[in-house]
Structure 1
Amino acid sequence: MTAETQEDARRRRRSRTSIKTSLRDLSSQLSLLNHQVGRQLGLKDVDLDCLDLITRHGPIGPSALARRAGLHPATITGILDRLEREKWIVRERDAVDRRAVTVRAVRDRTAEVLRLYAGMNRSMDDICARYDAAELELLADFFRRTAEAGRGATDDLSDA
């Protein structure tokens, strides 16, 4: 290896370490933000997580939600009971198969959540404004792949 390629390898290692450290910092900060949002809404962290999944992927069945959240179906039942009691979600029975239930977020309540994330969303818009379209596509691809890797690692641990 030439001196230049050794230096390139060191630079790449430092960059990879910096990215991993930054992702851990981001994870911690988003967790703290989510905790504060949940506290202001009167929601447990796991309830807010499930509400987010319902909002993004709903209407969704409780079993599918349990899989996405990585939680036991009985745990999901308790979460859905709390969310329904506080009018964050509604459970709807299938007209044909009355046993089948789907869950959807209550649109009016979703605005409360978005209001609390408005500051972070503005900050993200400001940060994104510093990048051109090609850089944003690269970043979006990186985060999409990172999320997929996280899902895969979570699935691996769930199967163990």
Structure 2
Amino acid sequence: MESREPSDLRRHRRAGTAVKAALRDLRVELALLNHQIGGRLALKDIDLDCLDVLAQNGPLTPSALARQVGLHPATLTGILDRLERGGWIARDRAATDRRSVTIRILPDRNREVFGLYSGMNQAMDEVCATYSEAELEVITTFLQRSAEAGRTAVAKLGEDG
């Protein structure tokens, strides 16, 4: 980083603080949205997290899903039982090794979730329409780097705990 005047450094720190405050506000709003949607579907926040990871990554083993959502595999078992009873997921067993299980989303129920998020998706489409392609690339990179910073912080807390 180039050398800056003290007033430039203060402005840069204030701008960084504003970004972090906006991210906290976004986190709260997304948590409220997820809570509202979860309430309508009789799903807990962690259930929605599991469904989202499966929707993004396709079928996963229980251990891979547990790692991605940050849960102990034994804790995940109860969640998967609840999601399977509700018709949200299926556990597919390999024909050659019945112990090998893959978790997949059931598409009909998943459409219900997407339907409830349609208002937010439409609002985000409108927000994105106000930015150039180059600006959206910068925003995407920023969000990806922020997510990586979050993963790093989680891993560090796991090491310290």
Q: What TM-score do the two structures reach when normalised by structure 2?
A: 0.94
CA distance in 2, matches of 1:158, 1:102: 26
CA distance in 2, matches of 1:14, 1:115: 38
Identity, in percent, stands at 57
1:31 paired with 2:27, answer no
One-letter amino acid matched to 2:7? E
One-letter amino acid matched to 1:55? A
1:8 paired with 2:8, answer yes
Q: What TM-score do the two structures reach when normalised by structure 1?
A: 0.94
1:82 paired with 2:93, answer no
CA distance in 2, matches of 1:126, 1:5: 38
Give 1:147-158 correspondences, 5 Å limit: 147-158=147-158
Per-residue deviation, residues 106-148 of structure 1 (Å, max 9, x unmatched) = 0111110011111111110111111101100000000001011
Give 1:7-156 correspondences, 5 Å limit: 7-156=7-156
Q: Structure 2: any 5+ residue segments left out of the alignment?
A: none
CA distance in 1, matches of 2:48, 2:140: 24
Q: CA deviation at 1:5?
A: 2.2
Q: CA deviation at 1:53?
A: 1.2
Q: CA deviation at 1:9?
A: 1.1
Q: CA deviation at 1:50?
A: 1.1
Q: CA deviation at 1:37?
A: 0.6
CA distance in 2, matches of 1:90, 1:124: 31
One-letter amino acid matched to 2:139? L
Q: Structure 1: any 5+ residue segments left out of the alignment?
A: none
Per-residue deviation, residues 47-101 of structure 1 (Å, max 9, x unmatched) = 1111111221220000111111111111100000000000000000012222100
CA distance in 2, matches of 1:100, 1:69: 20
Secondary structure of the equivalent of 1:131? Answer: coil
CA distance in 1, matches of 2:17, 2:93: 49
Do the aligned partners of 1:70 and 1:158 also contact (CA within 8 Å) in 2? no
